[in-house]
Amino acid sequence: MLKKRLFTPGPTSVPEEVLLEMAAPIMHHRTDEFIKIAAEVFENLKYIFQTKNDVFIIASSGTGAMETSVVNFLSEGDKVIVISGGKFGERFKEISLAYKLNVIPVELEWGKKLDTNIIKDLLEKNPDVKAVFGTLCETSTGTHFDIKALGEIVANYEDTILVVDTISSLGAVPCMTDEWKIDVVVTGSQKAFMLPPGLAFISVSEKALKKIETSNLPKYYFNLKKYKKTLAKNDFPFTIPVSLIVGLRKSLQIIKNIGIEKIWEEHHIRAEATRQAMISAGLKLLSESPSDAVTAVVLPEGVDGDKLVKILRTKYGMSIAGGQDHLKGKIIRISHLGWQDEFDVLTAICGVGVGLKDMGINIETEKAISAARKVLFGSSQ
């Protein structure tokens, strides 16, 4: 019986305390007891989102919330800027095109930084742009984007909103929704929230709320007007996954008790340790602006990353992620998300070394572990 370890950027491990809460007998979603739980959850979500805005809960994957952020604030033919530096930025483009929006794509090489001046210039030339779509952490490359700078730029335009996919990063790295002037923040339950997949969350600013009134894109299940109406009663327009909400209450309590700043710091340390380890091992990071949510590591030429993923999974019970699309087989991705501690980081680093060794490839695993220990525990002694 292999001990299972999840280092994938979702789903991530769920603490036993949360699993047990979810295993309690099902309650009806229109009882006082459940409405009280929902009220607590809605309130605590605002804390994680660092916002005073309403945060809506939808029963879907993160992609459902991405679609929600397109269909509620825009109208057919609207001009939008979509920043894309990986698979998930591309998804915003695909959704926008599915709804016949007029997309101005800003395509970056995967792993590259965004020069926010590009967006500034584009908006100056296209003041009729209705929304700018960005990503806080592009999961496919482990790249962090400077959303704060984007917020400053977009805030100058009265009729333009900033929509940010934080699916793999909210709760792991700072996302100051209100302070950074992000109008719409989209995320999912199966990453830093320490929950199984099945819920998505979306916060909406006053500026974005106004756009709901005029949006003419067709929608029903993702129609935020319905969610807005029921939120006032701490209710949901459609049957919500009650057991996941009960789990969410618990995980939000855990996060709140630790403190979100402390959790960001812990993610940073785990990510930094992994980065130092990989560099010390002689490997390269893919991203020139690495996120603390997930680290993408470039494998030596000729080494099959998918094979490494498979060996780790089948022989050692350890799940890391491989590369997607044109990076398939070329990189591995190690997540720092959610319920992990320092020893888990050492485990992941050691696992990569052992797996590569099984493939006949030697990296400097000892140096890697030593470098990680220095970051994690302040010393490698």
Q: Which residues bind a copy of itself (CB under 8 A)?
A: 4, 6, 8, 10-14, 19-20, 22-29, 31-32, 59-64, 67, 94-95, 98-100, 188, 190, 196-198, 217-223, 238-244, 313-314, 319
CB of 240 to a copy of itself, least distance (A): 7
Compute the half-sphere exposure of residue 136: CA atoms within 13 Å on the CB side of its CA: 28
CA gap 290, 88 in Å, rounded: 16
CA gap 28, 236 in Å, rounded: 12
CB of 199 to a copy of itself, least distance (A): 8
CB-wise, 19 or 254, nearer to a copy of itself?
19
CB-wise, 69 or 289, nearer to a copy of itself?
69
Pairing, β 318-319 against β 5-6: parallel
Q: Are 341 and 15 in contact (CB under 8 A)?
A: no
Pairing, β 331-335 against β 321-322: antiparallel
CB of 171 to a copy of itself, least distance (A): 16
Q: Are 29 and 54 in contact (CB under 8 A)?
A: no
CB of 82 to a copy of itself, least distance (A): 14
Burial of 313 (C-beta count, 10 Å sphere; 0-12/13-18/19+): middle
CB-wise, 27 or 155, nearer to a copy of itself?
27
CB-wise, 332 or 375, nearer to a copy of itself?
332
CB-wise, 184 or 368, nearer to a copy of itself?
184
CB of 278 to a copy of itself, least distance (A): 21
CB-wise, 6 or 348, nearer to a copy of itself?
6
Distance set, CA 271 to CA 32, 145, 188, 294 (Å): 42, 16, 20, 7
CB of 366 to a copy of itself, least distance (A): 28
Entry field: residues in the chain = 381
